[in-house]
Copies of this chain bind each other. A is one copy, B any other.
Amino acid sequence: MDKEKLIDLIKSRGSYLCVGLDTDLDKIPSFLLEKKDPIFEFNKAIIDATKDLCVAYKPNTAFYECYGAEGWASLKKTIEYIGKDHLIIADAKRGDIGNTSTRYAKAFFEDLGADAITVAPYMGEDSVVPFLGYENKWVILLALTSNKGSSDFQNELLNSGESLYQKVIQISCSWASDNELMYVVGATHPEQLGEIRRMVPNHFLLIPGVGAQGGDLVAVSNQSINSECGILVNSSRGIIYADEGEKFAEAARNKAKSMQLTMEEILKANKVI
């Protein structure tokens, strides 16, 4: 999916919501466990209930890998089911020497058919570049993550005066344009979101950490939105586990609808729509 189509979807749906498909057999409604592929059945119901309210889905690959080959097959079926009208982000946080990153790019872009993959920057340029240059595919590089441990290294002040996460953004934005590179910036750092927006005015930011992790949708959006929207805000647990019973999909829709309505107001207030 190219940037133009992503922006069109945001405008037409009045939403920059990304729904995180962190599907966990211990948390999905128990009646689904009798089905042949409970993970896919759960995802299918969530997708059916939310697809007009969001522009992206983000399966975190850990939740599929932990069920081995079967989990991998459920992930592939899910991606096929989502189809072409949502950005599909494989939240895989990969990154390895060039030879190996090339394999990961093949796994996620060619075999699985994802549109985007999250990549960890620690190993530097030659670990990231193999994911670039695929037509209409995206690298979403970890910059400042939403978790507590983000302060262990990402905030380290360098001799040159910047923080590590600033250096990561500053160096990596020369590797690719904003047509194929986004950044992960956690909603738990609203003050840094504004500063990052000024560093990369045109790049999309993928913002996790609203909801279960404590980030505030309105504050976070107002710090980071640009004239094309330029942000995707993710919610995983807050939407998909809104209810444990038979009406889980309806409950997920209600949560997603509430976020979409807030996003629509923010998009209007910022003259994106």
Contacts and interface: CB of A to CB of B under 8 A. Distances in A.
Interface in A150-175: 150-154, 156-160, 164, 167-168, 171
A69 B66 contact: no
Nearest to A157: B159
A78 interface: no
A132 to B, nearest CB: 13
A164 B154 contact: no
Interface in A79-114: 91, 93-101, 103-104, 106-107, 110-112
Contacts of A22: 99-100
Interface in A113-170: 120-128, 142, 145-154, 156-160, 164, 167-168
A68 interface: yes
A147 B124 contact: yes
18 contacts: A60-B96, A60-B103, A62-B96, A62-B104, A67-B107, A69-B70, A69-B72, A69-B73, A72-B72, A97-B145, A120-B123, A121-B122, A123-B150, A124-B148, A124-B150, A124-B153, A125-B148, A156-B158
A8 interface: no
A62 to B, nearest CB: 4
Given A123-B142, A154-B122, A68 B62 contact: no
A68 B112 contact: yes
A255 interface: no
A76 interface: yes
B101 A62 contact: yes
Nearest to A112: B68
A156 B124 CA distance: 11
A96 B145 CA distance: 9
Contacts of A111: 65-68
